[in-house]
Amino acid sequence: MNNIFIIGVGLIGGSFALDIKALHPECKVFGIDTTEAHLEEALQLGVIDEKANFEDLNKAEIVIIAIPVDATLEVLPKVLDHISDDTIVFDVGSTKEDICEKVRNHPKRRNYLAVHPIAGTEHSGPKAAIHGLYKNKTNIICEVEETAFKLQEKALKLFSDLGMRIRYMNPKAHDKHIAYVSHLSHISAFMLGKTVIDKERNERDIFDMAGSGFASTVRLAKSSPAMWTPIFKQNKANVIETLDEYIDNLKHFKQLMEDNDFEAVYNEMEKTNHIKDILNGIQ
CATH architecture of residue range(s) 174-281? Orthogonal Bundle (1.10)
* Angle separating helix axes 236-258 and 225-234, nearest 10 degrees: 100
What integer pLDDT is reported at residue 276 of this predicted model?
Answer: 75
Question: Phi/psi class of residue 19: alpha, beta or left (left: φ > 0; alpha: ψ in -120 to 50)?
Answer: alpha
Nearest-angstrom CA–CA distance, 141 and 133: 18
Q: Where do the domains of the chain lie?
A: 3-169, 174-281
Q: What does the pLDDT look like over 223-268, one tens digit per residue?
A: 889 999 999 999 999 999 999 999 999 999 999 999 999 999 999 9
What integer pLDDT is reported at residue 40 of this predicted model?
Answer: 96
What integer pLDDT is reported at residue 201 of this predicted model?
Answer: 67
Question: Phi/psi class of residue 83: alpha, beta or left (left: φ > 0; alpha: ψ in -120 to 50)?
Answer: beta
What integer pLDDT is reported at residue 88 of this predicted model?
Answer: 98
In terms of Cβ atoms closer than 10 Å to its own Cβ (0-12, 13-18, 19+), residue 215 is exposed
**3-169 maps to which CATH number?**
3.40.50.720
CA distances from 117 to 19, 128, 141, 216 (A): 14, 16, 9, 22
How many other CB atoms are found less than 10 A from the CB of residue 252?
A: 11
How many other CB atoms are found less than 10 A from the CB of residue 112?
A: 29
The C-alpha R_g of the chain, in whole angstroms, comes to 21
Within 13 Å, how many C-alpha atoms sit on residue 188's CB side? Answer: 18
| Cross-strand partners of 139 | 117, 166
What integer pLDDT is reported at residue 282 of this predicted model?
Answer: 56
Buried b / exposed e along 255-280 (16+ C-beta atoms within 10 A):
ebeeeeeeeeeeeeeeeeeeeeeeee
Q: Pick out the chain residues at pLDDT < 50.
A: none
What integer pLDDT is reported at residue 211 of this predicted model?
Answer: 67
What integer pLDDT is reported at residue 191 of this predicted model?
Answer: 94
